[in-house]
Structure 1
Amino acid sequence: MSAHSHPVTAPVGGKLFNTATFVCALLIMAMVAILFVRFIFGLGAVTNLNDGYPWGIWVVFDVVIGSAFACGGFSVAMLVYIFNRGEYHPMVRPALLASLFGYTLAGVGVIFDLGRYWNFWHILWPTYANPNSVMFEVALCISCYITVMWIEFSPVFMEQWGLKVQKKKLEKVLFFFIALGTLLPMMHQSSLGTLLVVMGGQVNPLWQTPVVPLLYLLSAVTIGYGVVLFESCVASSAYRREIEMHLLQPMAKIMLGTLAAFLCVRFGDLVVRGALGHAFTPSLEAFFFWLETACFVLPYALVGTANARRNPARLFLAGVSIMLAGVLLRVNGFLIGYDTGPGWHYFPSIAEMLVTIGMFAIEVLGYIIITRRFPVLPRPETAH
């Protein structure tokens, strides 16, 4: 995905100090205060983590789900640079910006959950490398992808700061980073699913399957399109811009296609493994499985026809439904469907929730600041 080929983009402008940025600032300050306590007194001072549940919402939401939500740039990149759908160019920069914040914050969020956070640099030091570790592969790929995205997005800053010569030089080698930007997400999104595979029988059969890496990859691509629908609708409403229906309508159709592939693999796997019967047992896991499934199927009822896709509200709700489905798929596998044995329970503390909300607030605040001061969104007169 490239951020350099958009001569019709422009800063939105306007005041940076408003109700939205003020609320975000308050949430970020609360997060910083909690993290101060966490880094001084340890995880036990602010979280409900225990030996049975060493991973809580900081890993599941901020990293596993956060990186999936950040696949909008990757999903749009496939359309533009792999399938040569150049008409989607106006969506590359907004999608890349959202991905940039999502992945960067996911990388930072990992540090919050590390007991010996001062040894984080070991992950990137060759003598400590463990190529047989799934978590090492995820950490390495995400770290590389964050770097690649910042390089891809740098032409936005160069345009605003008048660095035309530097931007022209970067464009000559940007194709290399574009290629990496489409390869790396495929690797680590599937590896995030592999984390469930290595957990073995602790994960409920509804989510424990050898094909879970493929499921996580397909769902991440689908979620990426859902996030683009959501972000485009919200940005158009917040900035009082005309919504880009000529792009969102066909994108919604593409999203339904990738969603169909996911559902075929999902239920085909359950049938082949004989695990579908677990969905009909009276249990919490079965309830959340059907809730997850309902959210994945709902977009067909919302935007399944060409006429329905002309309705911006339906496009927005379809995006929300896909995002919620992606959340449930990952929460169900890592928390709801995870059983480490009798006597262990986990529910996030208020402090944990505030940190996760604060991370989201940073993303919203950063998006507002950069779109208002840098050329990210298309000019209103050229949006069509």
Structure 2
Amino acid sequence: MKTLVNERAGLPIDGSRAEHGSVWPLKEKLLLGLSGSAYLAQLLRNPMNWVLAVILLIGLPLLGQRYLFGLAAVTHGSQDYPWGLLLGFGLFGMVPLSASGFLLSTTVEIFHRKDFLPIERLALLNGLLGYFFAVIYLLVDLGMPWRLTYPMLVSFGPAAVLFLVAWHVATYLSVQIAEMVPAFSE
């Protein structure tokens, strides 16, 4: 990216306004001011993109296999032990890391520590992505995404653990989305 910035000045990577004061169009923001072919060439040069492509090529068929044949086909779990690696990593790894969104937002907005303002949006995005992936992990581990609202609204059981987890993650994700609306709507 540093090479790209040095080659072409005025790319839409550090602000929402172009040099002449107008707002960057969405296509320019998404493609970093490059043409489609130049962006694709830049995308293919990055070795991390190749690693992520391999992960997707392995993960997407496994995800399909999980929904077609059940959790045991992918994790060797059973109905007795359904909470496996995905839930352990997703909820107990990603959710604590995503607490930075709430922490920095509280620091800047409530305690008026404006010296943390430059990293507030990054922390909010980290929080949003953390809770979004926690929802994805829950959907994969628990299955039946079409019944996502069932423990929250239909089978209203406040004594159930899934009721607590569902409302907790849904509420936090909603707050994180509300916090990111100003950044998305710029």
Q: Normalising by the residue count of structure 1, what TM-score does the alignment of the two structures yield?
A: 0.36
Unaligned runs of 5+ in 1: 1-8, 160-384
Distance across 2 between alignment mates of 1:51 and 1:134: 16
Distance across 2 between alignment mates of 1:150 and 1:121: 18
Write the letter of the residue equivalent to 1:47.
Answer: T
Cα RMSD for the two superposed structures = 2.3
Specify the alignment match of 1:167 in structure 2: none
Distance across 2 between alignment mates of 1:94 and 1:118: 31
Relative distance call for 1:50 and 1:98 in structure 2 (3 A) is same
1:39 aligned to 2:44?
A: no
Distance across 2 between alignment mates of 1:101 and 1:60: 17
Distance across 2 between alignment mates of 1:115 and 1:44: 12
Write the letter of the residue equivalent to 2:115.
Answer: E
Identity within the alignment, %: 31
Higher-RCO chain (CA-CA 8 Å, sequence separation at least 6): 1
Specify the alignment match of 2:162 in structure 1: 135
Could you tell me how far 1:76 is from its partner in structure 2?
1.2
1:145 aligned to 2:172?
A: yes
Specify the alignment match of 1:109 in structure 2: 137
User: What aligned pairs does 1:98-247 form with structure 2 within 5 A after superposition?
Assistant: 98-125=126-153, 127-159=154-186
Query: Which of these residues, 34, 49, 53, is aligned with residue 25 of structure 1?
Result: 53
- Paired residues in the alignment total 150
Relative distance call for 1:112 and 1:123 in structure 2 (3 A) is same
Could you tell me how far 1:42 is from its partner in structure 2?
0.7
Write the letter of the residue equivalent to 2:157.
Answer: N
Query: Which of these residues, 12, 15, 18, is aligned with residue 10 of structure 1?
Result: 15
Specify the alignment match of 1:95 in structure 2: 123
Write the letter of the residue equivalent to 2:165.
Answer: V
Q: Normalising by the residue count of structure 2, what TM-score does the alignment of the two structures yield?
A: 0.70
Could you tell me how far 1:148 is from its partner in structure 2?
2.0
Post-superposition Cα deviations, 1:18-59, rounded to whole Å, max 9, x if no partner, equal: 222232132123211101111001111111324553321111
Distance across 1 between alignment mates of 2:127 and 2:49: 20
Unaligned runs of 5+ in 2: 1-13, 17-28, 34-38
Distance across 2 between alignment mates of 1:43 and 1:134: 20
Relative distance call for 1:70 and 1:128 in structure 2 (3 A) is same
Distance across 1 between alignment mates of 2:143 and 2:105: 36
User: Any idea what SS the aligned residue of 1:84 has?
Assistant: coil
Relative distance call for 1:51 and 1:104 in structure 2 (3 A) is same
